[in-house]
Chains A and B, each alone.
Chain A
């Protein structure tokens, strides 16, 4: 494995709900190296979403340090966080989160728009990204004209287009059937081979098997953290993932 891309040191997150303090994360220290594919698992309320939000630069920790690609993220302001999200990482969400009534191509161009890339280059790079996820033919379709799997591919293309070092995926297969889920995981594994680090939040152990490392959260702490040999997502005539039991 390469050098560390993500490093957290005793990251805690405390929410105040009226008079009650909710400890969503308690001193989580985690190191993820470049090229790894990490599945974060855990029951709801275990803090995995909070961890993902912090690692994805959407939120800042209450205490502790977080370094992403050598930069101390825990100290950044809102503008610098936005820049981090734009340049260093890409998001894939459970509910796709594409702009409706906007073509696939324009959805994919969106991050480049905020990166200040010229119109022509935006276009070229968005086409490349869509071709890479296998949607070269459907660039001008709108999200409502696409299946869930296709929409998620557009979302992956949007995450890819800025050439990030990290992709953060929050339950990316949660709204997809098992066959389409494997398609998406195959896509992620292909990206992993090209050196992109993957952080995958899921509660499905089937999906976690495609990762090279599984981190299980419980009550805001890391309960277990294990390396594994990832299952190769391959599309056979029968959905392969469905036959595998944990």
Chain B
């Protein structure tokens, strides 16, 4: 068993403990010697960000043409995407894609349907009880793997974490789990997001901030414990039936990932710096929603910069989000406003403000990635950030004209700085394009295969 980390002196490294940001020169010494020479290419990365309850077409769609678009409205009102002006060259605004898979399968509520289809592009599945087939599905699930996980299958295997799921008040509704979860390894295998920045910090950065000698010992010890645990799984798996084995195999797979990550061939990039531990945040608080979200985005950015993971998701609240944007002066919940926006100017203005706020968060995330130098450019150059929603129009729960924004070009794969209208295509094909952007160019379909026509040529 080898420990691929150089030994640092305890004294040197203690400077990095205790929540103090560790500077770049210190961290260089932690880069495994095998990859320290920078011989490998820059890794590609994929991020998906979710916000709920649909959009408002004329406040979302840019004015003007493909390249000379502007985030303005004829009536001079607030444009949802106005914050994206700062990163306009890095993005593509997509209009016209449909969640066609929602035309079939179980489920009866536009939010459940939208959330379960959003990243999987296939029909939901009813739970063993058969309950709620035409309503919500208390023991049902999305029908298959989500795009982030499909991408992680390709690019997530070299890092400590295959993927990291961040949430901001993504509370689980036990009666309607499909509204609460978006990332799936497969049917009935939702990946729960981490809602607590303190928990995320501990999971991601404790080891990087640890004393290297102790860490080496700890890792050796973990390696032998996990070996033993894996043996137990293998002994048990030989005795159980298929359904149980599937769950146990997934667990064993997670342990294998954990084990491999102890000796991962990755290593922190030059810009890696252990962030301060988030303090004093209440992840259950409605009013701390912005602060918790900011902390999660900072942790995500640094997890990517430290190459702890290459696939991440950020789920703001849940489908049918009931967050009250008290910091914008709102008293009605997001969901309630979304159902009155078409009839009430005040509600409409507030719903636009909410989506505008999310555009600010998206911009913050993209600019954070852009602030991380990498190679000749920035980390954003090797990254795709996708902003998704479970609805088109939130009042009508539509599955057509669902808004998408893409940022980053994945090493030149996407032709950014454009506003595109793509009619008559299923959102499956957006994800086919994502897989191609991540290097998996032999893929022809994602989700329900008869809805796919191949990658969206307009994007490249």
Chains A and B belong together in one complex: no
Task: Please list the residues of chain B having a beta carbon within 8 angstroms of any beta carbon in chain A.
Answer: none
